[in-house]
Structure 1
Amino acid sequence: MASGSKSLKRKSNGPDSYTDEVWKRTKGTVDKKLERAKPFRIFMSPIECDPGTHIEESTLSFPELLDQSLGELTESLHINFVVELGWLLAQYFITGHRGKKITLLYEQCDENLIELDLKKKIPHIKHKKIINANAFGHQHSKVSMFAYADGSLRVVVMSANLREDDWTKFTQGIWVSPKFPLKKEDNTSDGNSKTNFKIDILRYLKSFDEQSLSQWIEKIEKVDFSQANVFFIPSVPGKHQEQLWGHLYLKSILEKYAYLPMGVPSDWPIIAQCSSLGSLGTSDKEWLKSEFIKSLSAANCYDPSKIDKYEIPFNLIYPTIKNVLNSWNGPMDGMCLTYSNQTHQKQLWLKEFMCLWQCHSRKRTKAMPHIKTYCRISPCCTKMSWFLLTSANLSKAAWGRRINLKGQKDQGNYIMAQEAGVLFLPKFVTESHTFSIFETEDSKLPYFSLPFDLPLTKYDINDCPWSIQL
């Protein structure tokens, strides 16, 4: 924990709430803050108990997304897992956007929106509860879009639910796009970027087959997304033959553009960091190594057929019981970590890959991580081949598992959940082979600030992951 940080009492929603501790410093100038965050434009949420996080340049609170310096807001789209309606509407109220149109797709909400509709309490909100046909699948993606009076759009991809605790207690990741303008009349292109961001996000929205999204699809089709320097990595439920979703889509991009030095592929370890873990099988060979790590090992510098001959180093960052007990709010902060003890007892082999949650460099060791990230770094912990911020935890439901498709020669990928993430590749972000992950005096390129500390610290023999009884 960084020195000088003091605990703050929790305050109620309103102009004097914790959110203003960040926003009151940037009110009217958030556009400049986003400009300074180029080329990565990635932030972490503030922690109410640590004022040190409130003044970080790389911290972003929810009201900042609604700051009037970002444009004349006309309406918003939020696709999320859990919604706390009163908190969400309070954010619009304190930023001067009360009554602005909102489209809301969600799985859980603390209010009965249908009942509120009948009482004509929320005339400015279109809403749809997404019900997944599979018990293990959820509408778990967290994507917001903001439309402005000049026809431009901004996209936000994050790990946070739309509720107060997610934006005050837990470590979250937020990527904020540039303001994508309307295509000019003489622009005959499709408005896509080199990363196919526009095509991928349109495909993701269309997969919902939801009428309330049709106007947003129309808006996107009219906008120029050529500034997008990240890839959009979605998962949607279904049995997919095409490699357009989940870990197979990630693989297809990495094998084209991910750079690794020539030589043995196993030199560079893969790091996964998440807030929950699914049932991964009776051994690491059942799915983790045979499918998931195999996909994340892809790169453009060696023969993919040779990957199986090497043991790819893999590390999994997940909070221990001690991590949670030493957090700002103790066991209460474990509510964002939903790994079941019953599942863990069936895959004790996973512990050999596990590492402590530590984030002293960003003042967040005591703020439990709801953020989900995946990356590949150099053995010396100074360079990074790629980085993914996503809603997807380490599970088959989120990423997909191999299945045989009836009547098809090739195998398919069976996904149960909606997820969304953004992939950072040096070729498109900094026009380099790798990202630097530490600031150096002689570096000519911006460095990527990771949401955890390096080098990693492995679990010791007495450490156990935080888990819950279902």
Structure 2
Amino acid sequence: MTTNKRTASSVLNGDIETKKFKTEIDSTSSTSTTVKESIPSSVDENNTKKKTCEYGEACYRQQNSKHTAEYDHPSTGASATTKNVSKRLTPVNKIDQSEPYRFLLSTVHGIQDNYNQQNAISLKEILSVEHGQLIRSAQFNYMFDIEFLLEQYPLEFRLKPLLIVHGDSRHDNQSIKNQCSPYPQIEICPARLDIPFGTHHTKMMFLLYETGLRIVIHTANLILQDWRQKTQGIWISPICPKTNDDRESKTNFKKDLLEYIERYRARQLQFWQKTINEHDFSSINVHLISSTPGRHTGPDLNKFGHLKLRQTLKNYLNLDKDEQYNSSPIIGQFSSIGSLGPNANSWLTKEFLTSLKQLSSSSLESPELKLIYPTVENVRTSLEGYMAGGSLPYNMQNAMRQTWLVNYLHRWKADHRHRSQASPHIKTYLRATNDQFKDILWFLVTSANLSKAAWGVLEKNNTQLMIRSYEIGVLYTPKQFSKATFSLPDSPSFPIPYDLPPVKYQTSDKPWIVDVAYKDKPDSHGNMWDPSD
């Protein structure tokens, strides 16, 4: 039996992800799922013939009783497989189908193809020539494999100007320079990190087409393994047309994006600042929630980090009689955990939860906080096996200092999206209306893990917010979609990436810790995990 070697990992404040490792991929291999027998009949108990849902077993609306009463969902036998292949969506179709939320998961190698058609997209599909004639692009990220990235662009776009925005540590800077040196079309922009232990963790794309500008905000590093068998989240803007007017969204997305870009103080981003200003953002209906390194005070206090989230929720929820929601549960889901303090009230359930629970009225109640983070068993049985744990860099030093955290933890489970075995690298936060989880008040997908470095910590009697890292995400509020709440069971349902309600850790469940050896049971590939090898 072989033993996996853990990849070199630097874990600081829960934000540093595992350094890139090389894997040999057999492009012809794919984990196939056992074919089930087709449903013999589509007649219900009242002898009423149902229609056949075109998405079959992959349909995410099967929890909706109204939908299932009208539609049958045959399993993927031979005839269903043939039908699903014929229903394969183009990249443009996929984005169009994701309206109005434009939130998709990454496709996963090793699950049935039809599960990658509904609200799912690959990096190659995001960059497809079908979206238009690309003029130039920018990629903001933490980890890069430049050769892999260029292979995801269509052949005709690979020589177009490309800006790479990355962290500015000496090691990373030299590595990026070496990777980019063969490609004269690539320009490098190092992100300043003025406070120790911060990272450039933002994951964002600017795609400038002849027809306009598209912004993509997501959760994946630009390396092969992040786009192959993990669960990632992706928001894709409309292509915003060029305009002579300063056309802004109702959410002030353009203003907030420019504010974020200006914090780099980088010559290389001046072109993109000008370009953003020249395009019409009025079709964008999400809020930008970002973090930038620094000690933010005065008029800047509420512009970044968890205070920006707090202010946005207070300004844009505006719920009638929102007191009824004061005790409604909040979920945080992430792929790493920083040092949070000796007890829950040090930061998590005091400062951070105050921002997460913010409604338009002030409330003294503390809602239930449910945190989703993979167990050891989640990792062991994942499609990648223990190697998935290399991207979940919660370390023993932090875990031992905050044993109280396990009381809040819940398993990763995503059966309805067929991604329970696709290890989560996605980070999301949401608030439900009640413990039945049929409706939610808001939803955030972001690069920010559960850490002070990512979200910020208040200093100087709450007059200053200190943030170490660059992060970015988008917040959905119902008001921008002409709704009171986001309804999960009804159509069109909001595409939550995991099962609700979440399942609390049992006594036997342990959170995945990256620098601990796991040799009791082999993983899904027959391997063990030994970080010392």
Q: Which residue of structure 2 aligns with residue 454 of structure 1?
A: 500
- Paired with 2:90 and 2:379, the residues of 1 have a C-alpha distance of 36
Q: Following TM superposition, by how much is the alpha carbon of 1:438 offset from its aligned partner in structure 2, in angstroms?
A: 1.7
Q: Could you tell me the TM-score, scaled by structure 2's length?
A: 0.77
Q: Is 2:313–2:359's contact at 8 Å kept on the other side of the alignment? A: yes
Q: Is 1:63–1:95's contact at 8 Å kept on the other side of the alignment? A: no
**How does 1:131-150 map onto structure 2 within 5 Å?**
132-150=193-211
Q: Is 1:41–1:177's contact at 8 Å kept on the other side of the alignment? A: yes
Give the counterpart letter for 2:147 in structure 1: G
- Paired with 1:84 and 1:25, the residues of 2 have a C-alpha distance of 34
- Paired with 1:143 and 1:17, the residues of 2 have a C-alpha distance of 30
Give the counterpart letter for 1:196 in structure 2: N
Indicate the percent of aligned positions where both proteins have the same amino acid: 35
Secondary structure of the residue aligned to 1:144 is strand
Q: Following TM superposition, by how much is the alpha carbon of 1:52 offset from its aligned partner in structure 2, in angstroms?
A: 3.8
Q: Deviations over 1:414-454 (max 9, x none)?
A: 100000000001100x2011001123xxx5xx210211101
Q: Is 1:28–1:67's contact at 8 Å kept on the other side of the alignment? A: no
Confirm whether residue 256 of structure 1 aligns to residue 315 of structure 2: yes
Q: Which residue of structure 1 aligns with residue 96 of structure 2?
A: 35
Q: Which residue of structure 2 aligns with residue 214 of structure 1?
A: 270
Change (3 A) 1:25 1:230: farther
Give the counterpart letter for 2:359 in structure 1: A
Unaligned runs of 5+ in 2: 1-23, 31-84, 517-533
Unaligned runs of 5+ in 1: 1-8, 19-23
Q: Is 1:260–1:385's contact at 8 Å kept on the other side of the alignment? A: no
**How does 1:215-294 map onto structure 2 within 5 Å?**
215-241=271-297, 242-258=301-317, 259=319, 262-294=322-354
Change (3 A) 1:11 1:135: farther
Q: Which residue of structure 1 aligns with residue 177 of structure 2?
A: 114
- Paired with 2:141 and 2:195, the residues of 1 have a C-alpha distance of 18
Q: Following TM superposition, by how much is the alpha carbon of 1:328 offset from its aligned partner in structure 2, in angstroms?
A: 1.3
**How does 1:40-439 map onto structure 2 within 5 Å?**
40-52=101-113, 55-92=116-153, 94-107=154-167, 112-115=175-178, 121-130=182-191, 132-150=193-211, 152-183=212-243, 185=244, 187=245, 190-241=246-297, 242-258=301-317, 259=319, 262-300=322-360, 302=361, 304=362, 307-308=363-364, 310-378=365-433, 379-404=435-460, 411-428=463-480, 430-439=481-490
- Number of equivalent positions: 431
Q: Following TM superposition, by how much is the alpha carbon of 1:329 offset from its aligned partner in structure 2, in angstroms?
A: 2.2
Q: Following TM superposition, by how much is the alpha carbon of 1:35 offset from its aligned partner in structure 2, in angstroms?
A: 1.7
- Paired with 2:421 and 2:172, the residues of 1 have a C-alpha distance of 28
Give the counterpart letter for 2:468 in structure 1: M
Q: Is 1:316–1:355's contact at 8 Å kept on the other side of the alignment? A: yes
Q: Following TM superposition, by how much is the alpha carbon of 1:296 offset from its aligned partner in structure 2, in angstroms?
A: 0.8
Q: Specify the structure having the higher radius of gyration (Cα).
A: 2
Change (3 A) 1:419 1:113: closer
Q: Following TM superposition, by how much is the alpha carbon of 1:260 offset from its aligned partner in structure 2, in angstroms?
A: 7.2
Give the counterpart letter for 1:324 in structure 2: V
Q: Is 2:192–2:264's contact at 8 Å kept on the other side of the alignment? A: no
Q: Following TM superposition, by how much is the alpha carbon of 1:101 offset from its aligned partner in structure 2, in angstroms?
A: 1.0
Give the counterpart letter for 1:411 in structure 2: T
Q: Deviations over 1:332-351 (max 9, x none)?
A: 11111011111011101111
Q: Could you tell me the TM-score, scaled by structure 1's length?
A: 0.87
Give the counterpart letter for 1:368 in structure 2: S
Give the counterpart letter for 1:279 in structure 2: S
- Paired with 2:89 and 2:502, the residues of 1 have a C-alpha distance of 39
Secondary structure of the residue aligned to 2:424 is coil
- Paired with 2:233 and 2:390, the residues of 1 have a C-alpha distance of 18
- Paired with 1:140 and 1:397, the residues of 2 have a C-alpha distance of 11
- Paired with 1:113 and 1:455, the residues of 2 have a C-alpha distance of 42
Change (3 A) 1:49 1:32: closer
Q: Is 1:85–1:110's contact at 8 Å kept on the other side of the alignment? A: no
Change (3 A) 1:262 1:106: closer
- Superposed structure 1 runs of 4+ greater than 4 Å apart: 24-28, 108-111
- Paired with 1:249 and 1:52, the residues of 2 have a C-alpha distance of 39
- Paired with 1:293 and 1:101, the residues of 2 have a C-alpha distance of 42
Change (3 A) 1:28 1:71: farther
Change (3 A) 1:33 1:250: same
